[in-house]
Amino acid sequence: MRDAVTSEALREAGLRATRQRTTVLDALRGRPDAITAQELHGELRGTGEPVGLTTVYRTLASLADAGLLDAIPREGEQAFRLCSDDHHHHLICEACNRVDELTAEEVERWVDAVASRRGFRVTGHRADIFGLCAACARS
Amino acid sequence: MRDAVTSEALREAGLRATRQRTTVLDALRGRPDAITAQELHGELRGTGEPVGLTTVYRTLASLADAGLLDAIPREGEQAFRLCSDDHHHHLICEACNRVDELTAEEVERWVDAVASRRGFRVTGHRADIFGLCAACARS
DNA sequence: CATGATCATGGAAACCGTTGTCAATTTCAA
DNA sequence: TTGAAATTGACAACGGTTTCCATGATCATG
């Protein structure tokens, strides 16, 4: 059962497996797009498993902290999406918010080269592509 | 005189050369770090050339629109910095907010390759490196 | 199973960066 | 010089997010 998988993931993140957290994490599963706390709250409001707005905010933050979610900054707000646990970059559709994960050795190489050349100690980097996915570009 | 240069830059951006805009743009000149509207407002408050907070916000937004400034997103707020007019990326010190501009053909190549491979129509991309500059890393 | 120490929830209020309002002021082309 | 149009700035409003805190759920332990 999916519930057991979800609970275990929460446990591994150091979080108790509550109904609310399970609901949030399950709602994120299989979603190709990034979603904000408010959007998710609104979506869950309709179902039989509502979760308080405050709790949605807290849960998304905790899961992102734990590395289960990627935070995708959007105009004035923050969207989230389930992600793999290794480092990657994003291909983001500005129309439907679909997010594809990318790995990019050429980017990592560039980061290392530039940083060492200037005596920077790197703590992180970001490389994302924005545009329209094939489906959205067609319409 | 510097003032004439500043006024002309404003004119070219389609903005009237007011005392406030000249003050803001001059304050940005030669600054290695990115600064927020509130920070700049506070800084100017001390001088003999105060500028209203609303005006600082509007001016920074206008200058960024015009391509004179780069917007550097910071935790929950937005910082700005004078920039060159051609496309570039950033090397950002998280301690002192110093920002260096970078060009990166390897990143551009990566963007094109990935996008075409997936049928994405690219509207923009971003690649920034975060860390500690040589000076901040030392202390 | 019970049980309680600890953690989680959620409605309401507060927060904080930012934007809208609008009357007064400034700019600048003519 | 002058007047139409743009700009300013104090203030209020906004919107996403966080804090508060009393209530409720979880789960290691007995």
Residue A94's CATH number = 3.30.1490.190
Same domain, A45 and A103: no
Does residue A9 share a domain with residue A61?
yes
Q: What is the mean pLDDT of residues A43-49?
A: 95
Same domain, residue pair B74 and B111: no
pLDDT surpasses 60 at B135: yes
Which of A117, A118, A120, A123 should be substituted to probe chain B, the one whose Cβ sees the most B Cβ atoms within 10 Å?
A120
Question: B64, B81, B98: which is the final residue of a domain?
Answer: B81
Please give the helix or strand (H or E) that residue A124 lies within, else none.
Answer: strand A121-132
How many domains is chain A partitioned into structurally? Answer: 2
Q: Find the Cα–Cα–Cα–Cα dihedral A95, A101, A103, A109, rounded to 10°.
A: 50
Q: What is the pLDDT of residue A2?
A: 57
Verify that B7 and B63 share a domain, yes or no: yes
Please count the residues of chain A. 139
Residue-level pLDDT at A62: 98
How far is A17 from chain B, CA to nearest CA, in Å?
A: 29
**pTM attached to this predicted model:** 0.94
Last residue of a domain, one of A81, A100, A116: A81
Structure tokens at A85: 């646990």
Q: What confidence score (pLDDT) does residue A4 get?
A: 84
- CATH number of the domain where residue B55 is located: 1.10.10.10
In order of A55, A58, A71, A78, B35, the CA distances from B75 in angstroms are: 21, 17, 12, 11, 13
Looking at residue B3, what is its pLDDT? 74
Classify burial at A78, counting beta carbons within 10 Å of its beta carbon; exposed 0-12, middle 13-18, buried 19 or more: middle
Please check whether residues A93 and A128 belong to one and the same domain.
Answer: yes
Question: Nearest-CA residue to the C1' of D11?
Answer: B54
Q: A63-103 pLDDT, tens per residue?
A: 999 999 999 999 999 999 999 999 999 999 999 999 999 99
Tell me what percent of the residues of chain A surpass a pLDDT of 90: 95
Q: Write out the H or E segment, with its range, that includes residue B24.
A: helix B19-28
**What pLDDT does B4 receive?**
83
Amino acid identity, position A5: V
- Residue A77 to residues A130, B68, B73, B83, Cα–Cα distance (Å): 16, 25, 12, 25
pLDDT tens per residue across span B28-62: 998 999 999 999 999 999 999 999 999 999 999 99
Residues B71 and B28 both lie in one domain: yes
CB atoms near residue B45 (< 10 Å): 11
Residue B23 CB neighbours (<10 A): 21
Tell me what pLDDT residue A125 has: 97
pLDDT tens figures, A96-137: 999 999 999 999 999 999 999 999 999 999 999 999 999 999
Q: How far apart are the first and last CA of chain B?
A: 38
Do residue B73 and residue B131 come from a single domain? Answer: no
Cα separation, B137 vs B134, whole angstroms: 5
- Boundaries of domain holding B57: 2-81
CA of B59 to C1' of C19 (A): 13
Same domain, A69 and A113: no
Give yes or no: residues A47 and A14 share one domain.
yes
pLDDT confidence tier of residue B102, bands split at 50, 70 and 90? very high
Which chain A residues contact residue B73 at CB under 8 A? Answer: 73
Which nucleotide's C1' is closest to A36 (Cα)? D16
DSSP for B108-131 reads HHHHHHHHHHHT-EEEEEEEEEEE
Q: Are B35 and B7 members of one domain?
A: yes
For strand D, the positions having any atom within 7 A of a protein Cβ are: 6-11, 15-20, 25-27
Ramachandran bin of B65, using left for φ above 0, alpha for ψ from -120 to 50, beta for the remaining angles: alpha
- pLDDT reading at A3 higher than 90: no
Same domain, B8 and B73: yes
Q: Are residues A76 and A29 in the same domain?
A: yes
Residue A50 tokens read as 């509502």
Each residue of B56-96: pLDDT tens digit? 999 999 999 999 999 999 999 999 999 999 999 999 999 99
